[in-house]
A and B are shown apart, each in its own frame.
Chain A
Amino acid sequence: MLEIRNLHVKIADSDKAILNGLTLTVKAGEVAAIMGPNGSGKSTLSYVVSGKEDYEITEGDILLNGQSILDMEAHERAAAGLFLAFQYPLEIPGVATMTFLKAAMNAQRKSRGEAEISPTDFMKAVRGAADKLGINQDMLKRALNVGFSGGEKKRMEILQMALLQPKFCILDETDSGLDIDALRIVSEGVNALRAPDRGMLVITHYQRLLDHIVPDTVHVMAKGRIVKSGGPELAHDLEKNGYAAYVGEAA
């Protein structure tokens, strides 16, 4: 499903390398977790895969369902089914959440050559998904993410994910800033989207998220590479022993 081959990335217009030969494959139906210390390049990986422009890929390739996506712009990758749940979701003042959701859904449908969603179907889809995430109607009328709490912003990310039904989801530190209850709601939302034809990459610092979203594989990232891969037990190891061993290994 998602295949990252020997990826080398530096910040555009600088010599600062962030990813140094990262290789990772996530199959359809698989939930892979990436863990790693601060500064290991986890967020950069999520940005590079989703097409943010501030980076330069000096070597390697990223494939989605066997197709290289390096030449695609961010919105084209989105239409191809790639979704990034942001660590810090952006505020869009003056644009009602509902308006934004509809614009995004229709933009993706349009670029796939599909008809626009009918207002009734749209309302139904939004209501259904919002109820499950405990998002009330008032929140949908407010400007997107403006004045939302950290937990509300994260729930809004999962709502968008549920509505857009992406093929591959990247969750960047979705647990940061969440209290226990919000963590449970968000995790349930994510788990509900687990499907045999959908892959997920969950980026986190902490084991606690992985108690709720149990991964199939766990990868440890340090200094821009995957330095160890294993099953869910690897996450527990890390929780106990920390990253020290891996940071040394990568150097």
Chain B
Amino acid sequence: MAAVKETVDHVRSIDVDQYKYGFVTDIESELAPKGLNEDIVRYISAKKGEPQWLLDWRLDAFRRWKTMTEPSWARVSYPPVDFQDLHYYAAPKKTPGPKSLDEVDPELLATYEKLGIPLREREVLAGVEGAKVAVDAVFDSVSVVTTFKEELAKAGVIFCSISEAVKEHPDLVRKYLGTVVPTTDNFYATLNSAVFSDGSFVYIPPGVRCPMELSTYFRINEQKTGQFERTLIIAAEGAYVSYLEGCTAPKRDENQLHAAVVELIALDEAEIKYSTVQNWYPGDKDGKGGIYNFVTKRGDCRGKKSKISWTQVETGSAITWKYPSCILRGDGSSGEFYSIAISNGYQQVDSGTKMIHLGRNTTSKIISKGIAAGHSDNTYRGQVSAHRKATGARNFTNCDSLLIGDLCGAHTVPYIESKNASVVFEHEATTSKIAEDQLFYCMQRGLDEEAAVALIVNGFVKDVLQQLPMEFAVEAQKLIAVSLEGSVG
């Protein structure tokens, strides 16, 4: 398999402790003053030319947020975040809004090129295997460009930044925004509701199978800036969409805050497949710097026989607090969660999912693979619950943890709750260590130690990698090898 070879090559080609997306783009930004108060919320809303209803919605969330406290139940520890010492809005000066590609600052285009994200449609078209991917590129607080919009529009698909959607498709936004993750949901989601800047909006009309993969690429560049993106995806009756999210940030000594909200809505017989390759800067080898990734992602299988599938590859961030979940409301709906979470250095991961069975004959499946190396801590936290009306609900959960070295930790915290006697919930969990003997066996065949670890880990996560769209599976495989750099020896 060529990908394994690439992984191996990749491991060899980079230095230990090197995060290759750690560069900073030198670009003039427009920053909101530091701190958070009602004026800042108004400032953000005004910058984006929002209607009154949305400003009111934000202010409502902000007032609520002031009464809330940060959650402390996760198995992570970090010094308190000073929410007044952050900028809540940062935008590259020369691009006030999404425009045609010709008007985008060349510095920005160069940044995305360096990240390997094709923003020029013809470059994508020239790509191999005819794999077309439409990209919405979000830089700090704003979307800089969205590709393939016209081609998508022909199919009736709306794919644009959420700011644009507020202007162009206000009825849809108003109808669905906050209906999966309400403004009152949790500390970070409420904060996001008050100050969210940009993100993607997708609407797939009834019966339409989205003709290409959609993706959003998030980049945090500015210092002392929080990124609060908001993504809203609606698949109408019988529609299908596959969506991928990627993220990187420069290497900085201070911690940066990322608190996103993603809402998915699947109506009758619709299907949404949402994949994430999260590669935020994880901090240096001593645990300095890195992104705090506090994210609320939730999908609502609102219609009967609808399906939402989350696949995530989590390799970055100093702290990850993230539980992509499914509300299985429609009868016969199904939810899936496939996760690979890798932690190395001093990273802390507390991630998992919630499968909330409300409808009859709803099914869910959870496959989680946690890999801990270095001094890191890796926790799977998952909730599976059945409402009393959820007759015939089924869940299958499999959580495997792999430890590399003896300074890291893996933890599994499942919550299982059923109010209906007919449901069947299964839970399997294993924890293992890469055995010295396995490594020696691979090395006796000629693989060096890091190649051997990469091979064994790739085998361990294979079930999940298979769920990713092909192009990204290869990327993810490389990323896994890179993330485990220096984890042995």
Contacts and interface: CB of A to CB of B under 8 A. Distances in A.
Interface residues of B, number: 28
A79 B446 CA distance: 6
A90 B438 contact: yes
Contacts of A95: 455-456, 458-459, 462
Interface in A94-144: 94-96, 98-100, 102-108, 111, 116, 143
Most chain A beta-carbon contacts within 10 A, residue among B8, B436, B459, B460: B459
Contact of B442 (A54, A83, A92, A116): A92
B445 A160 contact: yes
B451 A90 contact: no
Contacts of A143: 459
19 contacts: A53-B440, A54-B436, A75-B449, A78-B443, A79-B446, A83-B444, A86-B441, A90-B435, A90-B441, A92-B455, A94-B458, A99-B4, A103-B451, A103-B455, A106-B5, A107-B445, A111-B446, A143-B459, A164-B446
A73 interface: yes
A185 B283 CA distance: 54
B459 A89 contact: no
A75 B446 contact: yes
Given A75-B447, A78-B443, A78-B444, A100 B455 contact: yes
A116 B4 CA distance: 13
B459 A104 contact: no
Contacts of B5: 102-103, 106, 116
- Interface SS of chain B: helix
A93 interface: yes
Interface of B: 1, 4-5, 8, 435-438, 440-449, 451-452, 455-456, 458-463
Interface of A: 50-54, 73-75, 77-79, 83-84, 86, 89-96, 98-100, 102-108, 111, 116, 143, 160, 164
A73 B461 contact: no
Contacts of A89: 441
A41 to B, nearest CB: 18
B445 A164 contact: yes
A96 B8 contact: no
Most chain B beta-carbon contacts within 10 A, residue among A73, A95, A106: A95
Nearest to B456: A92
Given A92-B455, A95-B455, A105-B446, 6 more contacts: A52-B440, A84-B444, A90-B437, A90-B441, A104-B445, A104-B446
Contacts of A52: 440
A160 B448 CA distance: 17
A195 B280 CA distance: 55
A89 B437 CA distance: 9
A75 B447 CA distance: 6
A104 B437 CA distance: 16
User: Which 10 pairs from chain A and chain B are nearest by CB?
Assistant: A94-B459, A95-B459, A104-B445, A108-B446, A74-B443, A90-B441, A94-B462, A107-B446, A78-B446, A75-B443
